[in-house]
Amino acid sequence: MPTSGLSGQQITGIAYDNIMQKHMCKCENPTIHRESGGRLQSIWARLREVGILRYCEKIKTRKATTQELQTVHSEKYVSSYLDKMQVTAKTDHDELEVDVTDVSTNDLNLIRLPCGGLGIDSETVWDPCHTPKAARIAVGCVVDLATKVARGELRNGMAIVRPPGHHAGRDTAMGSCYFNSIAITASILKQKLNLRKVLIFDWDIHHGNGTQNTFYEDPNVLTISIHRYDKGLFFPGTGAITEVGNGSGTGFNVNVAWDSGSDVKMGDPEYLAAFRCVVLPIAKMFSPDIILVSAGFNAVAGQAHENFNYRVSPACFANMTRKLIESINSKIVLALEGGHDLPAICDASESCMRALLLSDPMPAVSSEERNKEPNQAAVKVLEKVIQIQQEHWPQIKRMASYTKYSQNEAERHEKEEVETISALAALSMGVTSEFENVLIHLLHLDFKNYKEN
């Protein structure tokens, strides 16, 4: 329940339904299938334990409608995932039919997994009794929460949902994703609420290929992603820095694609540099009506899987969240995507919720991390991103000089720049000579060019 005395516009919303926990493989082995119901259960228990839920409004949940799903996915694809159906599982040697009561005429081709369960692939498991409902509720949660925020009924919010969605394409389920919750929500906000500009910020370690493809030619949805790429060798192999959009959407797709390989681990210094040099300045120029975050936490330090070896702190994600609120737009909604280490995703979810609550104490990035310079692999990527994106967002050219700085050093330089420009402006107001005014103007330009170069 929300805190007594607060109006809706001051309340942080939260969306959750334990029905989403029931989506699981027949083998029920979370060691094999890391995207398990325990993720939601653990996060919800943590938020209740630390008292955060007392300050939030839990929205009523529902299944997304067929019409809503079809704003992004094809009619044929959506009809294949209705709650009641007949599915045909193709194995190496035979076919296994799984009948559900009140079956429809739709067929869904699955494979028999090594564990004995069914799935689209080894990561995208299928339970005919629970998967369709869980996937539709996940979408409904994100849509309704974002709608309330966009209308001003809630200040901001977070959707604790699964299965995740950012890999799901128009006709494709993959990477544990069936329906693209964030993409569907962005489409509905534009259509039903007439929002002109939506920003989707994806910080999951995997690139949100489904989201990118959905809006690749749309100038009204800016998609920005920070993810591991490794020259296309890291799943899903998309999201190169050269992928900037197409047609009228050119320039409205931004990828910070880390190319470090397994030898270099990205952490707070690298993510803070990407945020201040690319994400924040472009987001400010775009000036969105609302921000939707694909909040995957598999880059958080502590992930046991060998492929998830980044070391970003929960505080870093919280600080990016708070900075977006303070600098861009207070209307922001986070939706859970990936992340499998339970303590790590609980820490990150709690930290981000504290950032959304605004008045709540928020964990700070450690002074040690703030004083570290980003590694050379990250600097190289950021310089390339700026070089490519400055054609579409010319103002970020000046950020190239900040890519090598630690967070503390960058803030110090920014402060000095503001103070110098303010002093020049004050001096200009105090002189009367036309010659002196021209001189001050030239000094101002000279300083600006110096900073840009």
Arithmetic mean of pLDDT over the chain? 87
Q: Which pLDDT belongs to residue 49?
A: 97
pLDDT tier, 191 (very low <50, low <70, confident <90, very high otherwise):
very high
pLDDT at 106 over 50: no
Residues paired with 223 in a beta bridge: 200, 253
Average pLDDT of the segment spanning 146-162: 97
Q: Which residues contact 96 (CB under 8 A, 6 or more apart)?
A: 88, 89, 112
Q: Which pLDDT belongs to residue 435?
A: 52
Distance CA 430, CA 134 (A): 66
Distance CA 261, CA 242 (A): 18
Sign of CA dihedral 362, 367, 371, 373: negative
pLDDT at 362 over 60: yes
444 in catalytic set: no
Distance CA 436, CA 431 (A): 7
When mean pLDDT is compared across 127-131, 163-167, 212-216, the lowest value belongs to 127-131
Average pLDDT of the segment spanning 331-336: 98
Which pLDDT tens digit goes with each residue over 370-417? 999 999 999 999 999 999 999 999 999 999 999 999 999 999 988 877
Which pLDDT tens digit goes with each residue over 196-239? 999 999 999 999 999 999 999 999 999 999 999 999 999 999 99
Q: Which pLDDT belongs to residue 416?
A: 77
The residue from 167, 206, 207, 227 that is catalytic is: 167
**292 within 8 A of 147, measured Cβ to Cβ:** no
**pLDDT cut 70: percent of the chain above it:** 83
Which pLDDT tens digit goes with each residue over 416-441? 777 676 676 666 665 555 555 555 55
**273 within 8 A of 403, measured Cβ to Cβ:** yes
Task: Provide the CATH topology of domain 8-83+134-377.
Answer: Arginase; Chain A (3.40.800)
